[in-house]
Amino acid sequence: MRPPGVKYGPVPVGLTSEQVARRNSDGLTNKTSQASSRSLWEIVRANVFTLFNAIVAGSFILLLFLGQWRDALFGFSAVGNAVIGVVQEYRAKKALDRLVVINTPRARVIRDGTVQEIAVEAVVRDDVLVLRAGDQVSADAVMLDGESLEIDESLLTGEADPMLKFAGETVLSGSSVLAGHGRAQATCVGADSFAGRLSAEAKQFSLVNSEIRNGLNRVLRWVAWALLPIMLIVVNGQMHAEGGWTAAIATGGWKTASVGAVASVIAMVPLGLVLMTSVAFAVSGVRLARQKVLIQELAAVEVLARVDVICLDKTGTLTEGAVRFDAVHLPGVPAGPGAGHQHGWRHSLGWFGADPNANATARCLTEEFLPDNTLLAVDAIPFSSERKWSAVTFSADTAAPGTWVLGAPEIVLARGPQSAAPEEATAVVLATAKELSSAGMRTLVLAHSAGTAAGLGAGTRLPSGVSPVVLLTFRETVRPDAADTLKFFRDQGVGVRIISGDDPHTVAAVAREVGIHVEAGYDARKLPTDPELLADVMEQQRVFGRVTPTQKKQMVQALQQRGHVVAMTGDGVNDALALKHADIGIAMNTAAAATKAVSRLVLLDGRFDRLPNVVAEGRQVIANIERVSMLYLSKTAYAVAISVVFGALVWEFPFLPRQLSVTDGLTIGIPAFFLALMVNKSRYRRGFLKRSLSFAVPAGLILTASVVAVNACAALVGGFTPQDVQGSSVITLSLIALWILGVVARPLTIACAGVVLAMCGVLVGLLTIPLPRDFFNLAVPPPTLLIITLIASGVGILAVDILGRIRARVNARAGSGVPQRKAPWALGH
């Protein structure tokens, strides 16, 4: 390795224009694919050309062909569903396509013997890169030469300390040049580079694992399988109700039969449920945006409410990513030669902190030690991560005469010609330094030498005659909201894992500061590669250090294999893969562009305490959509049951499509909109779909029985017109469905009661006001049929109310143990 301070050798010629052209034609460029897994056309096709949309579109066209445009109102709901689906997924695609780890707009290369500035995408393999302070490395490369070139790889590897690079060593694309300058030859470009590989995996398109969305998709699949056989039953029943297939075709009765068949089919499809779910997610996203929380995928709001393990990156998440001065420690060591001048140590520390070449750690000294402008350096050596020390010499007539060395204790105080302190005294200082380091604090020693700076400028060895003066400790600044936020998750029974690329001792110290009591961090270099063994370690340990980006992803997957719902927070590119594979990824405001792009949530102001509000929003969404789903699924249940019963009995279907559209709006659509957005603080419990169906299916069957009873009594009594029977069926359906609404909305607030009463008022208006009554072909039935209708509705309402009370009792018993579990690995256990 080339030692620091070595100057450049002869200027390399670099590639010629002909060599660059050849590499461009061979595809050896720095371009990366900007395409996510699905194009816009594929997104449109997936959301528009579905089985349900085909059924709805076919029914819509059929009704228009028959001249029944008033019965085709359901088409608007289908259009709304498709538009929302396309917009949501296209937004996700655009976010992924903007994923570019390399932010530098230009790169410097040597071509044809001259330094040229070119676009980052124009870099080709074997280009000679010219690196200067402030640059971001545009491709993986091997160092040719350099002078004090320090590289920050923290966003890529999680390693907090900068790395000094020498000839022959590798620099990674996406890392930043902190100091010095150098030249390197590109070895891997584009998708083959380190940043390119991270981007390629992170950009694989995926939707968040949403229990609500998965449950609704399952229901839709069930309905899709049932549609065809039920359609055949309904069509056959309708044709026979018109006098049989031959008579219906001959007399034109098939048109009426077709309208009835369309009504039954459309009633079975819960179109509004998907739309209302998207609206609830979108409104929550807007609410959180006002609190500086960006939701990049709507369903992410729900997922955080289900999380039972949260994995936290240390740097930039629990800490602010900056180091602060902690304290001065005086080990009581007798000084060596030059002790008379050691009173100037505070002045020397003020100089180290104010030095323009100071690193981030030394700059923290200005918080405690003010610089002395009269103190002029005779000679100085800047700090480097390879040497792990810096030094300065002041003249004898200053407040801090002699040479001062600031650096790692084990390096500065190593026994040798440069050491002047007694061996026992040095041992005490080193033991103290080790104890402080074990507590997770970054520890430096300030040492003094009475000698001059002769030969110091070479920078190859420490000055002679050094003796320790004071020990200094530094710690990372922990976010002030971190401890309270983690306490919130502890109270919710959520397990916490701190995963960092930093030293395990440092990570453990930060963990203790935020309330996680651990003796030491687990060194990830000892992690097993077997997934099962890794999962065992993840269940037992809570704090991990020296974790690589690939290991972070594997650790998340190991927890998921054990049935956990995992959240991952981070800010570096090294966190991107884990964020992508977690059930929900959360990026801080300081995160790299790639990390933000693959995250589901971004804390725009970096406030960790925003997460409890996100959890509250998620709970509200889950609880409200569960209530809304009961309404829609009860409709699907009674639509299927009515279709099957009336088709099997070859009775005329009791509703027109337009009548079902208006009853859907009164009993489900409009109330569901308000229910989906109301305040609801219910705790999350697994099994939302099972609970919804356990109420919706019996309620739908009760409503079906009431409608069948009304139609059967009307047929037995006789003398009623089809319009009278339809009016009775609509009243029965509406009254029982409104009671279902009231049961689902319990406990009734003033707002909920107002919505239910308003819908009852609208129903009365539809039956009594001529214009809407004629449009929807409604009529108040004759007194005899009206009495039958009210009796059947009353019995149905009583049965639904009993069902609702049983459901409430079962839920109360199931929820009495909330929180449902407090795992032994949860925070604070």
As annotated, the active-site residues are: 313
Burial 266-275 (b: 16+ CB within 10 A, else e): bbbbbbbbbb
Q: In whole angstroms, give the CA distance from residue 88 to residue 208.
A: 12
Q: What is the CA radius of gyration of the chain?
A: 36
Q: How far apart are CA 18 and CA 136, in angstroms?
A: 27
Taking Cα atoms as reference points, which of 712, 715, 735, 714 lies closest to residue 799? Answer: 735
Distance CA 489, CA 516 (A): 12
3-class DSSP state of 509: helix
d(CA 301, CA 212): 11
Q: What gap in Å lies between CA 663 and CA 657, rounded to an integer?
A: 10
439 CB-contact burial (10 Å; exposed 0-12 / middle 13-18 / buried 19+): middle
Crossing angle, helix 253-268 and helix 51-65, to 10 degrees? 150
How many Å apart are CA 308 and CA 584, to the nearest integer? 11
How far, CA to CA in Å, does 376 sit from each of 355, 398, 585?
A: 11, 8, 51
Cα-Cα end-to-end distance for the chain: 48
Q: How far apart are CA 783 and CA 770, in angstroms?
A: 19
The two tokens of residue 799 are 């049965």
Percentages of the chain per state (helix, strand, coil), in multiples of 5: 55, 15, 30
Concatenated DSSP letters for 435-481? HHHHTT-EEEEEEEESS--TTGGG-SSPPSSEEEEEEEEEEEEE-TT
Identity (one letter) of the amino acid at 442? Answer: R
- What CA–CA distance (Å, rounded) separates 399 from 132? 36
Evaluated on CA atoms 228, 232, 235, 238, the torsion sign reads negative
Q: In the numeric block, which tokens belong to residue 812?
A: 């109360």
Tell me how far CA of residue 158 lies from CA of 162, 574, 678, 785, in angstroms.
11, 6, 42, 76
DSSP string of 387-409, one letter each residue? T-EEEEEE-TTSSS-EEEEEE-H
Contact assessment for residue 587 and residue 97, using Cβ atoms and an 8 Å cutoff? no
Tokens 């402008």 identify what position?
373
What's the residue count for the chain? 829
One DSSP character per residue, 20-48 reads: HHHHHHTT-BS------SS-HHHHHHHHH
Q: Which distant-in-sequence residues (6+ apart) come within 8 Å of 581 by Cβ? A: 553, 556, 557, 560
Q: CA 303 → CA 105, 298, 566, 568, distances in Å? A: 36, 10, 9, 12
Residue 160 to residue 153: CA distance in whole angstroms: 8
Which residue in the block uniquely carries the two structure tokens 């890169």? 129
Q: Is the N-terminal amide bond of 671 cis, ω within 30° of 0?
A: no
